[in-house]
Structure 1
Amino acid sequence: MDRRTWPWHSGVMRRFCVVPLLLVLVEAAQKSDLGGDASAALINHSPMLIQRLQDLFHKGNSTDTILRIRTANSDEVKVIHVHQLLLTLQSDIFDGLLLNQSEVTLQEPAECAALFEKFIRYFYCGEISVNLNQAIPLHRLANKYHMTALQRGVTEYMKTHFSSESAQGHVVSWYHYALRMGDINLQESCLKFLAWNLSTIMSSNEWVTVSDKLMVSLLQRSDLVLQSELELFSAVEEWISKNKPDAPVIEKVLRSIRYPMISPSQLFQIQKESAVLASYHNSVQDLMFQAFQFHSASPLHFAKYFDVNCSMFVPRNYLSPSWGSQWIINNPARDDRSLTFQTQLGPSNHDTSKKMTWNALFSPRWLPVSLRPVYSESIPSSSQSNRLEEGKPRLVVTSAMSGMDFAGVTFQKTLLVGVKRQQSKVFVKHVYNVHQSTDEVFDFLLQADLQKRTSEYLIDNSLHLHIIIKPIYHSLIKAK
């Protein structure tokens, strides 16, 4: 999640070493000269060339072009002396701007102008340092001047630093930036991180910066990870109170809350105490009434009259004990482990007292029968050891009550894998979904090296998992 989520140290600097086009051409020419001669060798003085190019930039020797950087509503002009060849070789935009010109004036936003000299230095050495506050302006500059490699590098930096610690938060602003830029890949990465770590986001300073469009996008998702639907309603109410969006937005947001996932006693409470709900009661009255009906009858009977195949009746990834269990596996590279836990049969008040028992099995190096070693004197122990190393982590979740009649409901098993960052916060790095027809979680931690104590998947040499059981209702008889 690769390192895809959960806060890293604030102020951490990430360096991208992207070899400039000039060095790529030089190295390619050198390697082609070697041919197939076994006695040939490559003498590489690229670092020396990079150092000399950096000195050329800092000292300004033999410059032939002047860049003047201006910002709106400011008389300040930043002057940078450059070598046209190095800029035009790597950017077709600069190639066009500097055609038959030795001086050009560029208009840049203040945050981009402040980093423009750092940006130009990249043309000379192919290396740049980035922190959280600099990611957007550097990405904008790379995009504007068609520096594709740098743009990819900054995008990758953003994806691996979603969970880095920052005072005001940054993932929401990165999403809004990606939306403006039309960067679908970055948008989806931001949305996934926000959805999988929503409880943390809702309790941070970022929550009030969420735009109307982002809020609607988040509430439409079933993969939100949070304590309960009631927690989500409370956070949405706070967002509405502080941001005061237009009435159509408020109505759409309130209608995206999954009221059947809230218990009757809690529904009565928010009806009585919520100022937002009081103001927009008519907008959600039908949903509230339907939720109370859902809780008053068995799901099977309810499904005869209402369509339960819609998002309103699909649980999200709730972390409360009624829906699953946390599982911390110490020294996960050693032995097989097992866990038994209980969940409620379903979200309906009709089923909350009914419990389901589940068994989970974790194996760090599971092998199919066909690949398991045969321990005998005829097979060297080294060969047996190599076979064991071919195994992969495996997780199986099965019901201990398979003989019961579960007409009208199937169970989706969701597994969260967490990693820790600053201030002991644990963030979701991977989410795996397994439906009733399958017990085993496929592709489980295929890229994780659990043998290494320094593995990013381990927290103090332990694997942090959370298993969630989600009952999914379906109609046996067409709703009238």
Structure 2
Amino acid sequence: MAGRSDFESWSVLMRVVYSKWFPTLPRHNYPPPTQLPSTDTTTLPRHNYPPSTQLPSLDTTTLHRSRIFRSAARESCCSTGVDKTNCCDGFKMTNPCSSAAEIEFNNSDSVLQKIGYLYSKREMTDVTLIVGNQEFPAHRLILSVSSEVFQQLLFDDLWGSWVQIEERLYQNYSVSATEGEEIVLLGSSYAEVMLTNPHWAESQEKRVVLQESPACASVFEEFLQYFYTGRIHINPEVVVSILTLADKYNIKDLVKLCGDYMLVHIPHAAVNNHLVSWLQYTVQCRHFQVAQACVNFVKWNIDLVANASDFGDFEPDMLVNLLQQNDLVVHNEVTLFNYVGQWLALQRERLANEATNDATDVDAHMEVLLEEVMANIRFPMMSPRQLADLLLSPLTKHYKEIIVERMAIGMSFHAGQKERIEEVLSEEEGRLLFTPRLYKAFSWSSLLSVENFPSLASYHSRTLVFSSHSCLAEHAGDHVCEWVVDIYPKGVWFKKFFLIVWQGTVEVPENVLKTVRLSVTCKDLPMEGEMRARVGILICGVQANVEHIMKVVERNHRFSRDDMVLNFDDLIPFDELNKPLVEMLGSEQTSPYLTGRNRDILKIHIVVAPLTDICSMTFPQFSFK
């Protein structure tokens, strides 16, 4: 650019830059310097510019390299996924680069491993939890993030007043502080707000003593490790202890995890003597979903529960609550009477082993228990022969006066003594005594089995025919009804047909229902021409390798000559029962509703119990108090 004026040199440089960076911009023909209008320099502000000899010379080679560097920087920003709107040495791009190569990495496992390393190596701990004879160094930050209770224990005001928001267990929660460096946390119940120490952060030697039950103390290390790793080992023996700690310290995610585990392992708990403790804890702590699942299992599988060693652990109030349920599945009422007698024997043995009780106190307490539970045994549902045989029972001989009085209600019912029946009906829950349960005895029900279920063709059915009594009381006669049961486990197909009417014929198109249908047809009505009955469908299945009754569907219906068929649709989820053959080849994918050694049998009990005007037509709900 030698021989040119400064202005001409700058004009040429700008044209080169614009043509290289912005090729689409319009080009301007700047006039030569001689054509520019003259300007009065006297009105412009004066600046003290340095002498021309001190100005750096403009090297075009450096300018070219700078342009190349900026272009390369833009390409690098595009390829590495950095901010495209403010890249290239501060130059803001007006046309952001594509984000197709952007990748989000998840390295959370590595972070959890580092946090778990802090616990395993006991590094940088600032609090010690003392449980029994064991000490657990921990980190206040980790404890506080995981538990609101620990957060308030470690950071809030210890010397303030008690505030209690909610209490989930029957035992009160308390905190006491020693004069030294320890804070003692007492009790095993839950409270959301706790008293804490404002001076905690001033000392790194603080110690917290937690008073836990032996069962909870045995799993406390596993429980504490969950704070750091999110991992914990659960089995039926320890799940209640872990859930107790999770409730006490308000670890909501662990509470949900324990609840989900219990829902799928209830049968396993029943055969391993843990179900009663599961039920009573979840009822007390209001874990309603798990509690209802436990209640259903006990009601529908009382034979299995009564033979477990923990059957005697039922609290009297809970056992009475169960005996009031209409959908209790049992062979007959005599069997239930024997189960109650078995429970009473266990209570007597427990009372006798307590040093504070003498023989007189045990007998008095047992009479109270006997009256409480026997009031819910439905003696009218026993036949006169069964009532007579009951007189030979050892329990009846020992408490003859109490039990014979209850047996007399049954004899009055079968003899048709209306005045005595009216007296009983006037009592609270009196109608329940004259209401049948879901009895599996042959005079009430029958079993329908579909063997080799996978080979059953679609839309095919299986049929069962059986008979049952049409009335409850013996004085009403011994008439029986014949029932025809049809099961369509693989859908229902209505073929196209023509209906003949007085105008001509009407074509009815075919229809396919993707449902599991069971139809109950009354083939022999009583002389009155109608019959009211409670129809119960008991569906067997396998869960946790335990065969049991998984589902119960019941309905009250009035059968008549105009309405002789009762249909149950969607008895079982269609897709859950009819899994594809590829899935059924593996045992883990087999439908839980298939039983037998090869898991290829569908078992369904059908119960038909007649109803009268004095029966309870409602379905009492289990009381979660």
> 2:566 matched to which residue of 1?
439
Secondary structure of 1:414's aligned partner: strand
> 1:415 matched to which residue of 2?
537
> 1:326 matched to which residue of 2?
447
> 1:292 matched to which residue of 2?
411
Q: How does 1:124-163 map to 2 (within 5 A)?
A: 124-163=228-267
- In structure 2, relative to structure 1, the CA distance for the partners of 1:433 and 1:40 (3 Å cut) is farther
Judge conservation of contact 2:267–2:546 (CA < 8 Å) in 1. Answer: no
Alignment match of 2:518 (pick from 380, 383, 395): 395
Amino acid of the structure 1 residue aligned with 2:118: L
Q: How does 1:317-356 map to 2 (within 5 A)?
A: 317-330=438-451, 331=453, 334=457, 335-350=460-475, 353-356=478-481
Count of aligned pairs: 416
Counterparts of 1:346 and 1:50 in 2: how far apart (Å)?
67
Counterparts of 1:315 and 1:156 in 2: how far apart (Å)?
34
Counterparts of 1:352 and 1:465 in 2: how far apart (Å)?
29
Verify: 1:64 aligned to 2:125, yes or no. yes
Counterparts of 2:568 and 2:222 in 1: how far apart (Å)?
46
Shift of 1:345: 2.0
Residues 209-253 of structure 1: per-residue CA shift (max 9 Å, x gap): 222112211111111111111111112122223313542221121
Shift of 1:416: 0.9
- In structure 2, relative to structure 1, the CA distance for the partners of 1:337 and 1:42 (3 Å cut) is farther
Amino acid of the structure 2 residue aligned with 1:87: L
Shift of 1:198: 0.5
Alignment match of 1:87 (pick from 118, 137, 143): 143
Judge conservation of contact 2:492–2:517 (CA < 8 Å) in 1. Answer: no
- In structure 2, relative to structure 1, the CA distance for the partners of 1:398 and 1:40 (3 Å cut) is farther
- In structure 2, relative to structure 1, the CA distance for the partners of 1:209 and 1:127 (3 Å cut) is same
Amino acid of the structure 2 residue aligned with 1:122: Y
Secondary structure of 1:469's aligned partner: strand
Judge conservation of contact 2:431–2:614 (CA < 8 Å) in 1. Answer: no
> 2:282 matched to which residue of 1?
178
> 2:321 matched to which residue of 1?
217
Secondary structure of 1:461's aligned partner: coil
Residues 316-339 of structure 1: per-residue CA shift (max 9 Å, x gap): 111111111111212166332222
Amino acid of the structure 2 residue aligned with 1:90: S
Counterparts of 2:614 and 2:343 in 1: how far apart (Å)?
35
Alignment match of 1:472 (pick from 611, 615, 621): 611
Secondary structure of 2:309's aligned partner: coil
Amino acid of the structure 2 residue aligned with 1:463: L
Secondary structure of 2:577's aligned partner: coil
Judge conservation of contact 2:471–2:478 (CA < 8 Å) in 1. Answer: no
Counterparts of 2:148 and 2:423 in 1: how far apart (Å)?
63
Judge conservation of contact 1:251–1:280 (CA < 8 Å) in 2. Answer: no
Secondary structure of 1:401's aligned partner: coil
RMSD (Å) for aligned C-alpha atoms: 3.2
Residues 242-279 of structure 1: per-residue CA shift (max 9 Å, x gap): 313542221121121111111111211212x2343244
- In structure 2, relative to structure 1, the CA distance for the partners of 1:464 and 1:140 (3 Å cut) is same
- In structure 2, relative to structure 1, the CA distance for the partners of 1:434 and 1:166 (3 Å cut) is closer
> 2:370 matched to which residue of 1?
250
> 1:33 matched to which residue of 2?
none
Verify: 1:449 aligned to 2:568, yes or no. no
> 1:17 matched to which residue of 2?
none
- In structure 2, relative to structure 1, the CA distance for the partners of 1:194 and 1:448 (3 Å cut) is farther
**Which is bigger in relative contact order (C-alpha 8 A, separation at least 6)?**
1
> 1:122 matched to which residue of 2?
226
Counterparts of 1:304 and 1:139 in 2: how far apart (Å)?
48
Alignment match of 1:458 (pick from 575, 580, 594): 594
Counterparts of 1:185 and 1:395 in 2: how far apart (Å)?
28
Alignment match of 1:104 (pick from 207, 214, 220): 207
Structure 2: stretches of 5+ with no match in the other structure: 1-97, 156-199, 349-364, 498-510, 559-564, 585-589, 616-625
Shift of 1:165: 5.4
Shift of 1:191: 2.0
Judge conservation of contact 1:222–1:316 (CA < 8 Å) in 2. Answer: yes
Judge conservation of contact 1:66–1:79 (CA < 8 Å) in 2. Answer: no
Amino acid of the structure 1 residue aligned with 2:434: F
Verify: 1:241 aligned to 2:321, yes or no. no
> 1:47 matched to which residue of 2?
109
Amino acid of the structure 2 residue aligned with 1:405: E
Counterparts of 1:81 and 1:202 in 2: how far apart (Å)?
45
Counterparts of 1:475 and 1:226 in 2: how far apart (Å)?
22
TM-score (norm 2): 0.61
Counterparts of 2:227 and 2:547 in 1: how far apart (Å)?
38
Counterparts of 2:532 and 2:372 in 1: how far apart (Å)?
29
Structure 1: stretches of 5+ with no match in the other structure: 1-35, 375-386
> 2:379 matched to which residue of 1?
259
Judge conservation of contact 1:418–1:430 (CA < 8 Å) in 2. Answer: yes
- In structure 2, relative to structure 1, the CA distance for the partners of 1:129 and 1:320 (3 Å cut) is same
Judge conservation of contact 1:433–1:441 (CA < 8 Å) in 2. Answer: no
Counterparts of 1:194 and 1:187 in 2: how far apart (Å)?
11
Residues 59-103 of structure 1: per-residue CA shift (max 9 Å, x gap): 333x232322233xxxx2x22232332221121111122223443
Secondary structure of 1:163's aligned partner: helix
TM-score (norm 1): 0.77
Verify: 1:270 aligned to 2:390, yes or no. yes
Judge conservation of contact 1:112–1:141 (CA < 8 Å) in 2. Answer: yes
Judge conservation of contact 2:514–2:574 (CA < 8 Å) in 1. Answer: no
Judge conservation of contact 2:539–2:604 (CA < 8 Å) in 1. Answer: yes
Shift of 1:38: 6.3
